[in-house]
Amino acid sequence: MITFALPDSIQKLISELTKFPGIGEKTALRMILFGLRGDLVFFKNLGEAFISVYENIRICKRCFNIAEDELCEICKDPKREEGILCVVEDVGDLISIERTGQFSGRYHVLGGLVSPMENRRFEDLRINELKNSVLLYKITEIILALNPSMEAEATALYIKDFFKDLNIRITKIAHGIPMGSDIEYLDEVTMAVAIKERRELE
Amino acid sequence: MITFALPDSIQKLISELTKFPGIGEKTALRMILFGLRGDLVFFKNLGEAFISVYENIRICKRCFNIAEDELCEICKDPKREEGILCVVEDVGDLISIERTGQFSGRYHVLGGLVSPMENRRFEDLRINELKNSVLLYKITEIILALNPSMEAEATALYIKDFFKDLNIRITKIAHGIPMGSDIEYLDEVTMAVAIKERRELE
């Protein structure tokens, strides 16, 4: 799209930035022009921040969250509750749950869901690692915190079956009508789930 | 907003990314999580691309466009027409004009407009540099390609006055109804300009 002979370093940066979803050439150029209006040290700092992530980030060997040491900040924290493990698909979901401050146990990042479409089988998930954690840390409850989908349903069933011989409680997070939403505009599937999973008033 | 103890390198990268206008913490985190899903070398490449811009980009000493050498790609190009100079406020405007492929002369990046609100006077612009270029390169026409505003009007008048003793043509790009627009929904100012600056059918 950009025909003008931009300097090589700018063109290279545009081509890297446009690898992000939702960032096209125009947006990338706008970001760069913003930087050029100020102190060029901005580019240096950003560059060093990206490289520092490359150099320092690894995967927590216990829960597979992002970490800078062998264990992530959560697994290092002695105040977290042992015995209860929240299974999430990826690190983004883990961060969302952490933000609520409502969960004090530990996590296991599954790294995907069973998906025949994407040729991902149950064995391709971090399932043996999950079993090792369950045995090693004497887990009594696994909470499945998966985004609702056919793949999540299938994965949940596999997990239930996989742990059927262990005396372990397997729960899933509640689905239903989100706070602040308007029943009139809610999608039918959420509404159907909300009716099916209704509870007694306490 | 993010209360979860993210690793230091991730937190630092978020704080750098959110310096871009329109990028908040959530967007920055989403960008980083996108990168974490793939090969971490992505972060290294991006980091090096930012640092390369920091190390290589300078300002063209003739037109003040971005460059990697003393002169920018345009000023280095012997095929560009001499004698006609397009004055723009900043590099972004220059790139937009270059994209059209309709201008074959050279540029002068003014670096701002006269603005009493922002305490920017005519002398604060690259106006002596403009005069030097006009004399050195025997410019016969200056095209003012400024975004329409009160500040642009004032700057244009100052420039006209500044060059009044030189035998030089000063023009400005045409304002009016943009192609593909709908008269019914056009703002009044554009419409007023379009009527005022009407031309004979040829």
List the domain boundaries for chain A: 8-56, 78-172
The percent of residues above 90 in pLDDT, for chain B, comes to 71
Q: What angle do CA A165, A167, A171 make, to 5 degrees?
A: 100
Q: Is the dihedral of CA B127, B132, B134, B137 positive or negative?
A: negative
What is the CATH class of B78-172?
Answer: alpha beta
Q: Do the interacting molecules here have an ipTM over 0.85?
A: no
Distances (CA, A) of B43 to A50, A52, A121, B18, B31: 5, 9, 29, 17, 11
Among the partner residues B17, B47, B99, nearest to A51 by beta-carbon distance: B47
Determine, for residues B40 and A30 on separate chains, whether the beta-carbon distance falls below 8 Å: no
Which DSSP helix (H) or strand (E) runs through B86?
strand B84-88
Q: Give the per-residue pLDDT at B28.
A: 95
What is the CATH class of B8-56?
Answer: mainly alpha
Q: Give the per-residue pLDDT at B126.
A: 97
Please report, in angstroms and rounded to a whole number, the separation of the first and last CA atoms in chain A: 62
Q: Give the per-residue pLDDT at A2.
A: 52
From CA A2, how far away is CA A25, in angstroms rounded? 8
How far off is chain B from A4, nearest CA to CA, in Å? 6
Q: What is the pLDDT of residues A177-202, one digit of tens each?
A: 888 888 888 888 888 888 888 877 66
- Whether the pLDDT of residue A3 is over 60: the answer is no
Please report, in angstroms and rounded to a whole number, the separation of the first and last CA atoms in chain B: 62
* DSSP three-state, residue B69: coil
Q: Give the per-residue pLDDT at A140.
A: 95
- Whether the pLDDT of residue A114 is over 90: the answer is yes
More confident residue, A196 or B151: B151
Among the partner residues B43, B55, B98, nearest to A53 by beta-carbon distance: B43
Among the partner residues B3, B43, B101, nearest to A101 by beta-carbon distance: B3
Determine, for residues A13 and B101 on separate chains, whether the beta-carbon distance falls below 8 Å: no
Distances (CA, A) of A178 to A186, A199, B1, B12, B93: 9, 15, 21, 33, 46
- Whether the pLDDT of residue A6 is over 70: the answer is yes
How far off is chain A from B110, nearest CA to CA, in Å? 13
Determine, for residues A57 and B40 on separate chains, whether the beta-carbon distance falls below 8 Å: yes
Residue B3 confidence class, pLDDT cut points 50, 70, 90? low
3-state helix, strand, coil in chain A (%, to 5): 45, 10, 45
Q: Give the per-residue pLDDT at A184.
A: 84
**Phi and psi torsions of A86, nearest 5°:** -100, 120
Q: Pull the structure tokens for residue A129.
A: 């690692």
Q: Give the per-residue pLDDT at B23.
A: 95
How far off is chain A from B93, nearest CA to CA, in Å? 10
Distances (CA, A) of A84 to A97, A171, B4: 14, 11, 19
Q: Give the per-residue pLDDT at A102.
A: 85
Q: Give the per-residue pLDDT at B129.
A: 97
DSSP A177: P
Among the residue ranges A122-131, B31-40, B151-160, B171-180, the one predicted with the least confidence is B171-180
- Whether the pLDDT of residue B163 is over 60: the answer is yes
* DSSP three-state, residue B170: strand
Chain A residue with minimal CA distance to B98? A4
Q: What is the pLDDT of residues B124-142, one digit of tens each?
A: 999 999 999 999 999 999 9
